[in-house]
Amino acid sequence: MKKLRRTMLFCPASEPKMFFNTPIYNPDCIIFDLEDAVAYSEKDSARDLLCEAIQSIDYKDIEIFVRVNPLYTEFGEIDVKEVVKAGVRNIRLPMCETPEDVKRLSLLLDEVEKENQIELGSVKIQCAIETPKGVLNALAIATASPRVVAISFGAEDFTRTLGVDRTKTAKELTHARAYIVLAASVANVDAIDTVWADISDIEGFKEETRDAKILGFSGKSCIHPSQVKEVHRIFTPTENEIEKSLRIIQAAKEAEEKGLGVITVDGKMVDKPVIQKAERIIDLAKAARVLK
Ligand SMILES: CC(=O)SCCNC(=O)CCNC(=O)[C@H](O)C(C)(C)COP(=O)(O)OP(=O)(O)OC[C@H]1O[C@@H](n2cnc3c(N)ncnc32)[C@H](O)[C@@H]1OP(=O)(O)O
Ligand SMILES: O=C([O-])CC(=O)C(=O)O
Ligand SMILES: [Mg+2]
């Protein structure tokens, strides 16, 4: 069954109180952050704290990622080595700009897996694309290693490096977001949309999340618990969508038995692409447990 990655809730690795709060909101994934949410002076202690927590808290079936520091910083390699040793199996690599960045991480993971008797290739990578160069290399990044399961967009660093303001219209993100979803689709990996920093503006957040879904993202990074339920609502098929999809699939099955090709349901043409889209909605509904 499809692994759901509708929500990725960030939690600073320096905030132990939040370690216990995160699973309460039931995000599909949690990203413990060792990068920008952690002050320079706290990097080592936050990593130690996180490694302890990972080994003692039961996050049940929530998928755990750790955003390590980039490998070109003094903390990157040690972050990867320690969190993998502590049991983490998914790394979010920030500021990913080239396929070589991914290959470097993958080689490091080969070593760490060997040293710790962990199945080779079992640690997965999510590449965060947050610069114009990263956007232009999105497909090469997404296909750089079989370890890559998702690429994500980081609009705060993207607008910083492009030299523009981040606005509520999101016009300045249009080209990058489009490029990232296309690359993810070709590479057959998930595409995760960026965070929305204004936690008091839930309406703006919902609008941006709806746009992300329309564009083809699989989910969205969140920074606050209040954002999780909104993303789930938007990325989970509605009762109407499920009911219509089931009718399309049933009508197609009956048509097939009668040797018919194209048919109509509710006055609209139904052919192969429509049937396959209906099947995708049903798969998603089952994965989200809103349909048995
Ligand atoms: C551009 C980037 O790189 S984004 C990625 C890096 N950023 C992050 O990781 C930030 C993650 N989010 C946070 O740290 C916090 O949400 C903040 C700092 C933005 C706001 O925190 P607060 O002012 O405490 O928010 P608020 O008062 O609304 O919190 C309400 C409750 O939710 C908890 N909470 C808030 N955010 C989170 C979170 N991300 N995960 C788990 N619990 C959380 C708080 O601990 C608090 O719990 P309590 O009621 O038991 O005390
Ligand atoms: O990756 C993210 O979603 C957040 C981030 O670092 C950015 O926007 O720069
Ligand atoms: Mg960033």
Task: Kindly state whether residues 220 and 256 are assigned to the same domain.
Answer: no
pTM comes to: 0.96
Task: Kindly state whether residues 96 and 182 are assigned to the same domain.
Answer: yes
Task: Kindly state whether residues 83 and 181 are assigned to the same domain.
Answer: yes
Amino acid of residue 241 = E
Task: Kindly state whether residues 224 and 284 are assigned to the same domain.
Answer: no
Task: Kindly state whether residues 122 and 90 are assigned to the same domain.
Answer: yes
262 CA → ligand 3 middle, Å: 48
Task: Kindly state whether residues 113 and 243 are assigned to the same domain.
Answer: no
Give me the pLDDT at residue 154, please: 98
Per the domain annotation, does 28 fall within a domain? yes
Mean pLDDT of the chain: 96
Task: Kindly state whether residues 156 and 248 are assigned to the same domain.
Answer: no
Euclidean distance between the first and final Cα of the chain, in Å?
12
Q: Does position 266 have pLDDT exceeding 80, yes or no? A: yes
The CATH number of the domain where 64 resides is what?
3.20.20.60
Q: Which of 7, 21, 96 gets mutated to test ligand 1 (max ligand atoms within 8 A of its CB)?
A: 21
- pLDDT by residue (tens digit) across 7-45? 999 999 999 999 999 999 999 999 999 999 999 999 999
Task: Kindly state whether residues 19 and 157 are assigned to the same domain.
Answer: yes
**Mean pLDDT value of segment 142-165:** 98
Residues in Cβ contact with 120 at an 8 Å cutoff, skipping those fewer than 6 apart: 110, 113, 114
Task: Kindly state whether residues 58 and 18 are assigned to the same domain.
Answer: yes
Per the domain annotation, does 272 fall within a domain? yes
Task: Kindly state whether residues 124 and 259 are assigned to the same domain.
Answer: no
Answer for the pair 159, 130: CB distance below 8 angstroms, yes or no.
no
Per the domain annotation, does 245 fall within a domain? yes
Domain membership of residue 268 as a residue range: 239-288
Over the chain, what HEC string results?
Answer: CCCCCCEEEEEECCCHHHHHHHHHHCCCEEEEECCCCCCHHHHHHHHHHHHHHHHHCCCCCCEEEEECCCCCCCCHHHHHHHHHHCCCCEEEECCCCCHHHHHHHHHHHHHHHHHCCCCCCCCEEEEEECCHHHHHCHHHHHCCCCCEEEEEECHHHHHHHHCCCCCCCCHHHHHHHHHHHHHHHHHCCEEEECCCCCCCCHHHHHHHHHHHHHHCCCEEEECCHHHHHHHHHHHCCCHHHHHHHHHHHHHHHHHHHCCCCCEEECCEEECHHHHHHHHHHHHHHHHCCCCC
- Atom 7 in ligand 2: residue holding the nearest Cα: 154
The confidence band for 3, taking pLDDT boundaries of 50, 70 and 90, is confident
Q: What ipTM did this prediction achieve? A: 0.98
Q: Which of 192, 211, 235 is the last residue of a domain?
A: 235
Task: Kindly state whether residues 77 and 207 are assigned to the same domain.
Answer: yes
Per the domain annotation, does 2 fall within a domain? no
Ligand 1 within 6 A of CB of 224: yes
Domains in the chain, number? 2
Per the domain annotation, does 1 fall within a domain? no
- Atom 6 in ligand 2: residue holding the nearest Cα: 154
Ligand 1 within 6 A of CB of 36: yes
Task: Kindly state whether residues 207 and 273 are assigned to the same domain.
Answer: no
Report how far residue 178's alpha carbon sits from residue 255's, in angstroms, rounded to the nearest whole number. Answer: 37
Q: Which of 11-15, 72-76, 257-261, 263-267 has the lowest mean pLDDT?
A: 257-261
